[in-house]
Amino acid sequence: MRVIINEDALEAGQEEALPLGFTIEATRATVKIPPPTMDPSFFRIVRGAVINGTPSTISTIWFKIIEYKYDGKFVELTGEPLHRSYQSITANSDYETVIESALVEVAAGVSIIPNYEGTAAWKAYQFYPTGRTIVLSPRKKLFTILQQKYLIFATEDGWDGSQDNMFFFVATDARNTDYTVTDQLFNYNARQEFRKIISRDEASVIRSDGASTSPIHNLGFLHSTASLPTNSAVQQAGSRTSKIPVHLKYRTGDKVDFASYGVGINPSAMRVNVIEVLDLQSTPAWYMILEALQWFGTTEGGAMPSTIEAAAPYTPLTTGNFDGILSVNDNNLQAAMETIDDHTHTGISTEEIQDTVGAMFSGNTETGITATYQDADGTIDLVATGGLTYNAATVTTGNVTAVSGNHYDCTIAGLTADRDFNLPTPGAAGEKIALRILDGDDTYELIIKANSTEITRVFIAGEYMEFMSYGTGAGDWRASQDGRIPCFAEMDRITSNANTTHSANTKTTVDWNNIPRNRGELADTANDRFNIRRAGQYEVSFQFRPAASVTDQKYLELILFGGASGTTEFGFAVNRVASTGAATLCVISNRPVTCAVADQIVAQFATEEANIGMLRNDAGDQSTGGSWYSIKEVL
């Protein structure tokens, strides 16, 4: 049992810790560990057992840390699957597109892979009415919206060594019983929750399913061609097990049958919510709780105590100022609402309403928009001012001369050379220019310049930058939004060991032959180096494990070189072997270096003995403890 932490949801540079406690739920986890040596952004929890001498483990997904607590002794980390960030998804998207878009982890460069129960026809249903953009603020709101709109639940489904997985299911869909559990201390609750579900389609037609006397659950928009979800009551709401032994096969959404008590109580099989806990003060210390999954609450808006529910309609009102529809007789909320409901409003003509609203838009001072009331046809014309004008720019054989007030969507795939994006001399402070890279280029860059001076470069699909002028000088531009994507690359050795023939006490460049990751196209196995494409700060890590045994008291040395020709030393590590054996490890971790464009980052090693060589990294998997080399841009 261990906790893996890292700055990104990646294996490179990870750190391990023994958990002092944890709680794992469907879309949330909390863990307590000793203080780490790094400042982590992600964690995952690995559990398992040794079976017949062989470790068998399972890992949660990488959870994004949303809360970091330190009590002077231990650190408590709380994580969720998704970043707490804003996301806008294209209008008219279906459920599957919305889910896949929300699960993309841009900051870490890793996506969560969704898996679905059954055929899941609902994946193809339109999510929102035509023309309406889907906004998730924050992104984790996805899980709440899915439950409200179609009774869809999500649960983390583990890290498989290369990607995170999540499982999605409709809680009311039919499912065969997965497991039978015996729990003599089962906490049984016979409460049921019934609902009438309703939805509205693109023509504002209302569809419903359920008894008219049941409380309403409003699904919201559901296209006329889509089927309503099965309307099943929540059975045995509130039922839950005691602290039962851990079985890592249980997953939220499973259907579990609980053995009879033998006293006339025989719970029926039900969908469960799984909670896994490690609490060293408890007996047992490691346990699970299975509780009835609830897709309907006590009321649509949440539970309301019965005393408040009964008294609320008769809340007293102060009547002294009632001189219109209401009078002194309307002295409580129920009476006042009945008077308002019974009141017949006098007719107001369409022209009167239009003139009243039009007057609200006339004679005012607007900022960023002009409003004009057209009395002839009763309409209001709204024209945005001061926004950015859209431009599509295909940049392949020429430079871009930008104009203030414009947004440029740049297609750069197929560049024949580096091209310039030239910011103009601003006419005033506060002018704006924006650009976005629609598709990247593996070889050449789009160089952003002001007054012929390079500011930065962009070349990765999805990068976005916005600039605002702060004066009228030719170079008076600053980045107001920086959406550059950090480069991240890794090289290792697979299939065969490297450099098995070399001289003693001689620096030797490592012969890499595999590129597991290469965001920004920095990795170059032909020349065994990283080629810098954008000036700035980078962190370089190098792990070396010898292929042959190293004699007692002999040294291993790692050296990192940078600069224009890859010959300027900026990092090294030395390990003198305490006993003979090939398991000796030498590491340089997250060594910072400032780089210029076209710098070459080269890894070399030296040993006191000849022909030691470097151990390969089987199938590109760092967990085997082989050798690897990585670089990460720090923006």
Residue-wise DSSP of 167-227 = EEEETTS-----EEE--TT-B-----B--EEEEE-TT--EEEES-TTSPEEEEEE--TTSP
Same topology, domains 389-483 and 488-634? Answer is yes
The token pair that represents 311 in the structure block = 């008294």
Q: Within a 13 Å sphere around the CA of 298, how many CA atoms are in the beta-carbon half?
A: 7
- Work out the end-to-end distance of the chain between its first and last CA atoms, rounded to an integer number of angstroms: 35
Closest by CA to 422, choosing from 412, 408, 411, is: 408
pTM: 0.50
Largest alpha-carbon pair distance within the chain? 103
Residue carrying structure tokens 């039922």: 239
Residues sharing a CB contact under 8 Å with residue 194, sequence separation 6 or more, in sequence order: 210, 211, 214, 215, 233, 296
Q: Which residues of 151-190 are buried (b: 16+ CB within 10 A; e: fewer)?
A: bbbbbbbbbeeeebbbbbbbbbbebeebeebebeebeeee
3-state secondary structure string across 496-525 = CCECCCCCCCCCEECCCCEEEEEECCCEEC
Domain 488-634 has CATH 2.60.120.40: yes
Indicate left, alpha or beta for 337 from its phi (over 0: left) and psi (-120 to 50: alpha): alpha
Select from 80, 65, 67, 96 the least CA-distant residue to 27. Answer: 80
Record the tokens describing residue 313, joined without a space: 């309609």
* Number of Cβ within a 10 Å radius of residue 121: 11
The two structure tokens encoding residue 615: 């151990």
Residues β-bridged to residue 364:
none
Strands 400-401 and 419-423: parallel
Give the pLDDT score at 373. Answer: 76
Question: Cα(322)–Cα(335) distance, rounded to whole angstroms?
Answer: 13
**389-483, what's its fold?**
Jelly Rolls (2.60.120)
The residue among 112, 219, 126 whose CA lies nearest residue 163 is: 112
Burial 286-304 (b: 16+ CB within 10 A, else e): bbbbbbbbbbbeeeeeeee
Is residue 320 classed as helix, strand or coil in its secondary structure? coil
Number of H helices, E strands in the chain: 5, 43
Q: How far apart are CA 27 and CA 21, in angstroms?
A: 18
Going by C-alpha positions, the residue among 63, 73, 146, 65 that lies closest to residue 112 is 63
> DSSP 3-state assignment of 527?
coil
User: Do residues 152 and 168 touch, judged by C-beta distance below 8 A?
Assistant: yes
Contact (Cβ atoms closer than 8 angstroms) between residue 147 and residue 78: no
pLDDT tens for each residue of 467-509: 999 999 999 999 999 999 999 999 999 888 999 999 999 999 9
Q: Which tens digit of pLDDT belongs to each residue from 187-241?
A: 888 888 888 888 889 988 889 999 988 888 888 889 999 999 999 998 888 899 9
List of the chain residues with pLDDT < 50: 106-107, 298-311, 314, 582, 619-623
Burial 478-496 (b: 16+ CB within 10 A, else e): eeeeebbbbbbbbbbbbee
C-beta separation of 463 from 487 below 8 A: no
- Helices 141-150 and 95-102: crossing angle in degrees, nearest 10, is 160
What was the pLDDT predicted at 303?
35
Residue with tokens 């409580």: 332
Q: Give the pLDDT score at 175.
A: 93
Buried b (16+ CB within 10 A) or exposed e, 319-345: beebeeebeeebeeeebbeeeeeeeee
Q: What three-state secondary structure class fits 441?
A: coil
In this prediction, residue 606 carries a pLDDT of 93
**Residue 591: how many other CB atoms lie within 10 Å:** 18
CB 614 within 8 A of CB 510: yes
CB-CB contact of 392 with 400 (8 Å):
no
Distance between CA atoms of residues 553 and 57, nearest Å = 37
Residue ranges of domains in the chain: 2-80, 389-483, 488-634
Identify the burial level of 592 via C-beta atoms within 10 angstroms of its C-beta, where 0-12 means exposed, 13-18 middle and 19 or more buried: exposed
3-state secondary structure of 566: coil
Query: Is 610 in contact with 504 (CB distance < 8 Å)?
Result: yes
Within 343-446, where are the H helices?
350-360
pLDDT for residue 301: 35
Give CA angle at 69 (67, 74), nearest 5°. 135
The pLDDT value given to residue 50: 67
Please enumerate in sequence order all residues whose Cβ is within 8 A of that of 432, keeping only pairs 6 or more positions apart, or say none: 388, 404, 405, 466, 467, 468, 469, 480
Joined together, the tokens standing for residue 316 give 């007293």
pLDDT of residue 357: 81
* Contact assessment for residue 580 and residue 610, using Cβ atoms and an 8 Å cutoff: no
